[in-house]
Structure 1
Amino acid sequence: MSWANWSGSVRAGATVRRPRDEGELAAIVRTARTVRATGAGHSFMPLCETDDTIVSLEDMAGAMTVAPDRRTAQIPAGWSIKRLTAALWEEGLALANQGDVNPQSLAGAMATGTHGTGRELGNLSSFARGFRLIGADGEATWCDATTNPALFEAQRLSLGLFGIATEIACEVVPAFHLVERIEKRPWAEIRERYHAMAAELRHVEFWFFPHADSVILKTLATTDPCDPPLSTRDMEEATFRRLLNIGALIPLLVPTLQRVMMRSAMKGRRYGPAHAIFPSDRTIPFEEMEYEMPVAAGLGALEEVVGWIRRKRLPVSFPFEFRIVAPDDIWMSPMNAGPVAAISMHQYAKMPWRALFAEAEAIFRAHGGRPHWAKRHTLSRADVDALYPMAERYRAVRREADPAGRFLNGHLAELFS
C-alpha cells in the first residue's frame, strides 16, 4: 500500500499500518526497521517518507478526558483537530487558537509547530502540557515539565523523532464564538496600517496576489453566542480554480488573471462557534513554503519578494499569506526568539514551484527568516545549527531516546542524526 501527502508531491512505497491500540502499535515499532507516523499528510516536506513502515493512528481506540480544573484535556494524539474541537465544544471548551484548516492530527500539528494568527497567541505546540509516547523499544513513557523534562522539551516540537505520541495533555480554554470579516483593501493602506491593526485585533491576516494592488483582509473577533455558520468556506473556490487552470496552461496570463480576479467585490461575514470559524475548506492542491521572521522585518520581506515577482512577471499563481504569531520557548520552534511575521508562499500543484521557492527562500533568509518545518525549505545541518542554539541538545535527547535511529528517515537524518 503506497502513501502520498496531501499535495501529491511526497510519495512513499512503505507499508501503511493502522494499529487499533497501544499493544498493536508497540509491536509494529519493535519489528520495524524504520517507522514514521502520519496524520492527514499536510506536511509538504518528506517528514513521513520511508521505504519501511508508516503508522496512522486514525483507528486507535481512545477517549478525551477533561481535567477537574478544566484547563487541560487528555486527548488521543491521532484525533484530527476537527474531531478534537467538536468534542471540546460539547464540553464547553475550545482551543485558544487554530490554523485555517483542521484535518491534521493533533500530534502532527504539534510536531511541526502548526499555528494560526494572533500577536498574543502561540502555535499549537505551545499548548502541549504532556505526552504519552511509544518509544523505540516499544515501551510507553510519559513526559511533561517535571517527569522526563528534557524529553518533554524536545517533544514539544518533535518532528516525530522521539517516539509515537498516543495521548497528549493539551491546554484548553472556555468555549467562545467568533465573527469573521473578509474584505478587499488597497495594499498601500494595509502596508501602512497592518501593525496597528494587529495590536488592536485578536486576529488579522491578509492574502496578497503578487500581480495585484489590493489584498484580501481577514479579521476574527470574539462575539456573542450564535448558531453555526451556513458555510464552511471563507471564500468561493470555483472561479479561482478555473483561473488557475487557465494560468497553468498559459503561464504568461497569470499576472493579468490575478488583476482581473481582484477587480471583483470581495466582502463576506460569518459568525459561529470558534471551531467552526477558524478553519475553512481548502480543496485546491498547492505546494507551500512558509518562513517566520522578526515582526519588524515581515512587511519589508513581503514587499521585496513581491517586487521580484513583478519585475520578472513570474507565474506565481496563488496569493501570499501574511500573519503574526506570538513567541514561545520551544527548542526548535521558529517562534522561540520573539513574535514573528509568518509569510506563506504557495504555488498551484499543477505548476512548477522548486526554482521559484529557491529564489524566494534566499530573500526570506536574508531577512532573518526560519522556515516552518512542514513547509518547503532547503535547510542544511549547518543552517539548523546556526538558526537554533538548542539544536545539539535536541539531537542529544534524540540519540538517547532512539539510539538505533528507528524514527529517522533520510531527510531528518541529514539534519538531526
Structure 2
Amino acid sequence: MLVAPRDEAELAAVVRAAPRVRVAGAGHSFMPLCASDECIVSLERMEGTLHIAPDRTNVRAPAGWSLKRLTAALWEEGLALANQGDVNPQSLAGAMATGTHGTGVALGSLSTFARGFRLMDGEGATRWCDAGTNPDLFEAQRLSLGMFGIATEVEVAVVPAFHLVERIEKRRWAEVRERFMEEAQRHRHLEFWLFPYSDQVILKTLDPCDPCDAPASTSDMEEAMFRRLLDLGVAVPRLIPWLQRGMMRTGFGAGRRGPAPAIFPSDRTIRFEEMEYEMHAAVGLDTLDELVRLIRRDRLPVSFPFEFRLVAADNIWMSPMNAGPVAAISMHQYARQDWRAPFAAAEPVFRTAGGRPHWAKRHTLDRDAVTRLYPMAERYRAVRRAADPAGKFLNPHLEALFG
C-alpha cells in the first residue's frame, strides 16, 4: 500500500494504523531500503514552507521536498547548500538518511548539514531532536536509514548563494594517478571517470566563478553516443575493451557555468546498477588500480566507467566517512548487462582496502560486518530500539542488519 498524506494529522493516522511503515524518497537507492509488503509512505504532498533563521545560516524545510525544490527555494532567498551530489530528485530526508555526498576534500556529505529533525514516532507523536535536545536520537538520525521515525521537517545548514564553473577534459590515467591528490587541493571539487579498459580518464573540476546565468544544458555529458556503444557491447561483449578505447580517443573538452544548484546535478537517463565503497583517501588510488587489474585480468564485461571522488571526514555514527577523509569509488554496470558477477568479484577488493559501502548502493554486508566496521553500531542499535521498540520502521533488509 502506497499512501501520500497531505499533513501531519493524515500521516499520524497512517502510522498508527499500519503494522510497519517505510518512507520512500525518489527511489534512487539500489538496496531494498524502502521495500515493504505493508505500508510505504510518500511525503511529496505534505504541506510545508521554508523557514530561514535570522542569521541566515540555517533553514527549516519540509523533509519530503526534493533537493531540486529545496535548492530552487533557497536560491530565491540568496542561499544555497554548500555541496550536492550529481542528482537532485532525491528527497532532503532521504539524501541525509543514506549519507548522500558530492565531492571535495573539505566538504562532507549532506548528512553533515543536518542541524535538527522533527520526527514522528510509531504512535504518531512528534518530537524535535538536535545536538542539545534528544542528542543521542539526533546523532543516530543524522544517517538514519529511516529507522528512527519519520522526519517531517529538517533544519539544515546553508551558505550564501554562489556560482560555479565546470571544466571537463581528457587526461592520461598515469598523469592523473600521480597528481590527483595535489590537484584536489587546488579545486573546490575534483573527480574523474575511468573506463576499466582505457588508459585515459575524464576529469571534472568545479570552482567558484563570477555570477552568471544558468547554462542551457542540464547535463555534463551527451548520452546518445554512449548509449549506442553500450548497446553494442551488450550484443557483442568481446568488443567492450575496443569500444572503450575508441571512445576515449575522441575529443573531450566541455564545461558549463552558472548558479551552483544548476551545475552540481546532471541529467542521467541511462539506467545502471551501482556499487560504491568508501576507504581512507590514502589508499583510494591503489584500490582503483587493483580493481582495473582485476577486470582486465578476468576480462569482465564492465561497460561503465568507475567514478572516483574525495569526501571530507565526519563524526556521524554510521557514516562511511567517520574514520577519516575518504576516497569514494563507484563501480557501475549497464542495466542491460549482468552486474552480479562483476560486483561479486570486486567487493573483496573494496573490503581488503578497509572499504565501507554507501548504504544505498549494492553491497553484501551482514550484521557481524556492520559491527566490525562501525564502533558505534551497538549504540546506534540501542537508540533505534528506544525510538522504535515495536520495530515499526524496519523492513527485512534493515532488521537483518540493525533489528
Q: TM-score, normalised by structure 1?
A: 0.96
Pairing 1:53-72 to 2, within 5 Å after superposition: 53-72=39-58
Check if 1:167 corresponds to 2:148. no
Secondary structure (helix, strand or coil) at the match of 2:255 reads: strand
Check if 1:317 corresponds to 2:317. no
Amino acid at match of 1:320: F
* Corresponding residue for residue 349 of structure 1: 335
Question: 1:386 Cα shift?
Answer: 0.3
* Corresponding residue for residue 23 of structure 2: 37
* Corresponding residue for residue 13 of structure 2: 27
Question: 1:409 Cα shift?
Answer: 0.4
Check if 1:81 corresponds to 2:58. no
How far, CA to CA, are the matches of 1:56 and 1:247 in structure 2? Answer: 37
Pick one of 77, 81, 89 that aligns with 1:95: 81
* Corresponding residue for residue 223 of structure 2: 237
Question: 1:247 Cα shift?
Answer: 1.0
Pick one of 244, 264, 268 that aligns with 1:258: 244
* Corresponding residue for residue 7 of structure 1: none
Pick one of 307, 310, 316 that aligns with 2:293: 307
* Corresponding residue for residue 375 of structure 2: 389
Gaps of 5+ in 2: none
Pick one of 349, 355, 360 that aligns with 1:363: 349
* Corresponding residue for residue 167 of structure 2: 181
Amino acid at match of 1:86: A
How far, CA to CA, are the matches of 2:237 and 2:394 in structure 1? Answer: 39
Question: 1:90 Cα shift?
Answer: 0.3
Amino acid at match of 1:222: P
* Corresponding residue for residue 140 of structure 1: 126
Question: 1:248 Cα shift?
Answer: 1.4
Secondary structure (helix, strand or coil) at the match of 1:299 reads: helix
| 1:228-265 residue CA offsets vs partner (Å, 9 max, x unmatched) | 11100101000001111111122111111111111110
Check if 1:248 corresponds to 2:240. no
Secondary structure (helix, strand or coil) at the match of 1:86 reads: helix
* Corresponding residue for residue 408 of structure 1: 394
Question: How many residue pairs align between the two structures?
Answer: 403
Check if 1:129 corresponds to 2:123. no
Pick one of 257, 264, 270 that aligns with 1:278: 264
| 1:375-394 residue CA offsets vs partner (Å, 9 max, x unmatched) | 00000100000000000000
**Runs of 4+ with deviation above 6 angstroms:** none
How far, CA to CA, are the matches of 1:214 and 1:108 in structure 2? Answer: 35
* Corresponding residue for residue 197 of structure 2: 211
Pairing 1:281-300 to 2, within 5 Å after superposition: 281-300=267-286
Amino acid at match of 1:367: A
Question: 1:325 Cα shift?
Answer: 0.2
Amino acid at match of 2:292: V
Secondary structure (helix, strand or coil) at the match of 2:185 reads: helix
* Corresponding residue for residue 11 of structure 1: none
How far, CA to CA, are the matches of 2:46 and 2:337 in structure 1? Answer: 37
| 1:4-23 residue CA offsets vs partner (Å, 9 max, x unmatched) | xxxxxxxxxxx111010011
Pick one of 85, 90, 93 that aligns with 1:104: 90
Amino acid at match of 1:270: R
How far, CA to CA, are the matches of 1:66 and 1:299 in structure 2? Answer: 41
Check if 1:338 corresponds to 2:355. no
Amino acid at match of 1:46: P
Q: TM-score, normalised by structure 2?
A: 0.99
Secondary structure (helix, strand or coil) at the match of 1:193 reads: helix
Secondary structure (helix, strand or coil) at the match of 1:200 reads: coil
